[in-house]
Chain A
Amino acid sequence: MSALLELRDLNVFYGAFHSVHGINITCQEGEIVSLIGANGAGKSSTLRAIIGQVPRITGEMRFDGEDMSKCSTPDRIASGIALVPEGRRLFPNLTVEENLMIGAYTGRPGPIGLKDVYAIFPVLLERRKQFARQLSGGQQQMVAIGRALMMNPRLVLFDEISLGLSPKIIGDIYEVLPRIRDRGLSMILVEQDISRSLAMADHFVCMLEGRISLAGRPADVTRAQIAASYFGD
C-alpha cells in the first residue's frame, strides 16, 4: 500500500536560513502522526511546507502517489490536504458560518458539510451568525477545525491546537479528534502537549534543530529516549 503522504529529503529555506534539513516523513491512510519537538525545531515549517506556504523547499512531497512539490496551496487543498493553523487564523469579521463555508469553497467536494460540523461542535450552531472575533479561544479553535473539515480533506494538519487554551477546552478538542479519525481522515499533529499527542498517535516524529532526532511508535520508546531526542541531550 502506498503512503498517503510522503516527504522525501525535504529541506525548507527562509531566504538564506536553512530551517528543515532533509527530513523523511510518511503518513498512511487513516493514520495519526505526532510531530513533536521544542520551539524552533522546524515542526510548523514542515506543516507549512506540506501546505505550500514556505518560500523555498527542495526534496519531494508526494500526496496519494502524486508529486505535489511544485503545486500551489489551492491545488494542495483541492487535492485533500487541510491545515488547522497555529493561532487559528480565522477571518475575524466574518461570521462563524461564513468562516466554515470558506473551507467548502476552497476544498474538494465530499460528504462533510455544515450539518456534520455542527454535529461535532454543537456550540457553533448556536453561534453561527456571530462574528468569529466575538468567540472564545476554544470556540475559535472549533471553527478552525470545522473550516478544515469543510474542505473534505484526506489529511488534516493540526498546528498547536491546544496553544493558549484552558485544560478543560483542550480536553474537549482532543475528544473530537478520534471522531475525525473515524471518518477515515489522516492527521499530523504538531503539539506542545507531548503526552496527549503521543497518546493519540500511531507514529511519532521528534524534531531537533530542523532534523529528525527520533521516530517510531510511541509504545516502542521510553520517556527517557523521547526526552533525549527532544532536548538533544
Chain B
Amino acid sequence: MTGLLDQIIQASLLGGLYAIFALGLAISVGVLKFINVAHGDLIVAMSFLMLTLTESLGLPAPIAFALLIPIGAGMGWLLQYGLFQRAASQNELQIILITFGLSVILQNGLLGIYGADTRKVTAGGIELASLHLFGNINIGVLPLIIFATACVLIAGLEQLLYRTGLGVKIRAIADAPEAARLVGLKVAGLMAIAMALVGITEAVSGGLMSIWTNFDPSSGSSRLLIAFEVVVLAGLGSFWGVLVGGIIIALAQTFGGMVDSAYQVLAGHIVFLILFLARPQGLFPKT
C-alpha cells in the first residue's frame, strides 16, 4: 500500500514537469489559437543552452537557469516579430508549416552543434536531496521544486491572462484579430508579448528538464507529443487543467511501467485516447 502511494506521489511530481512542458503550448493553442509544432524543439534548444551556460561557461545551474528566462522571453518575442507575424498575415496553415520547418532546422542545428549524444546538466547536491514524508516515502527536492514551479507558473499565467487588462487584450486579439484592429488593439505588439510568455515557459521547461532528465537533439518530438496530450486533456484555455492533465499522463505512464517497462509510454497514450474519446472538449475547457 505504501509502495502504491509512493508511486502516486512520484508520478504526480513528474506530472508537474509534464505540465510545464505543456504550458507554452497551452498558451499558443488555447489562447493564441495557433499550433506551434516547434514547441518541443524550442524546449530542447533551451536545455542545450542551459548545458552551454553551465558546462562551457561554467556558470552555476541556478544562475544559468535565471539567465535562461529573459533569453526565452527574447526568443519568443523575436520569433513572433521576425517569423510568425509575417506568416499570420497570410493564412493559418502557413504558420503551422513554418513552425514545422523551424522544428527541422532546430533539430538539425542542435545535432550539428552538440552531436547526437544524450546529455544532462549537473546541478550538484540538489539532484540527490530528498525529504522524508512518512513511512518509507521520500520525495526528491528537485521534483518538488519543479512541481512548485509548475504551480507558480500556472497561477501566474491564470492571473495574467484572466485577471489583468493585458491578458484580456491578448485573449481578444487571438479571439478575433480583425475585430481587435477595429477597436484599436495593437495586434502585432500584443502577439509578441504573448509569444514572449510562451518563450519564458519554454525556457523554464528546458532548464528544469535539462537537470531532471536526459535529452538529445531529437527529444523535442516526444516532449511535443506529451505537451499536446496534456493540453487536449486539460481543455483549451485551462492552465490548472494542464497540471491535472500532466499528472494523469504521468500516473498512466507510472502504472503502465509497473506492469511492464515496455508499456510505460504506451500506457500514457492509451489513457489519453480513452479520455479524449470520452471527453473530446477536455476536462476543464474555458471557452
What residues make up the interface of A, taking CB atoms closer than 8 Å to B? Answer: 51, 53, 73-74, 76-78, 83, 85, 89-94, 98, 101-103, 105-107, 131, 147, 151
* A-B pairs with lowest CB-CB distance, top 6: A77-B184, A106-B184, A89-B179, A74-B184, A93-B287, A91-B175
With A and B bound together, what is the CA distance between A74 and B287 in angstroms? 28
B185 within 8 A of A: yes
What residues make up the interface of B, taking CB atoms closer than 8 Å to A? Answer: 165, 168-169, 171-172, 175-176, 178-186, 287
With A and B bound together, what is the CA distance between A93 and B171 in angstroms? 8
- Pair B183/A98 contact, Cβ less than 8 Å: no
With A and B bound together, what is the CA distance between A93 and B165 in angstroms? 15
Which B residues lie within 8 Å of A90 (CB)?
Answer: 176, 179
In the complex, 14 of the A-B residue pairs with CB atoms within 8 angstroms, ordered by the A residue number, are A74-B184, A74-B185, A74-B186, A77-B183, A83-B183, A89-B179, A89-B182, A91-B176, A93-B175, A94-B171, A94-B172, A101-B168, A151-B183, A151-B184
Measured CB to CB, the nearest residue on chain A to B168 is: A98
- Pair B182/A83 contact, Cβ less than 8 Å: yes
- Pair B169/A89 contact, Cβ less than 8 Å: no
- Pair A101/B165 contact, Cβ less than 8 Å: yes
With A and B bound together, what is the CA distance between A77 and B185 in angstroms? 10
Which B residues lie within 8 Å of A93 (CB)?
Answer: 171, 175, 287
Which A residues lie within 8 Å of B181 (CB)?
Answer: 53, 73
Which B residues lie within 8 Å of A73 (CB)?
Answer: 181-182, 184
Sample of 6 further A-B pairs with CB below 8 A, known A77-B184, A102-B169, A102-B183 = A74-B186, A83-B183, A89-B182, A90-B179, A105-B185, A106-B183
Measured CB to CB, the nearest residue on chain A to B173 is: A91
- Pair A102/B172 contact, Cβ less than 8 Å: yes
B175, B180, B287 interface centre (most CB from chain A within 10 Å): B175
With A and B bound together, what is the CA distance between A112 and B280 in angstroms? 43
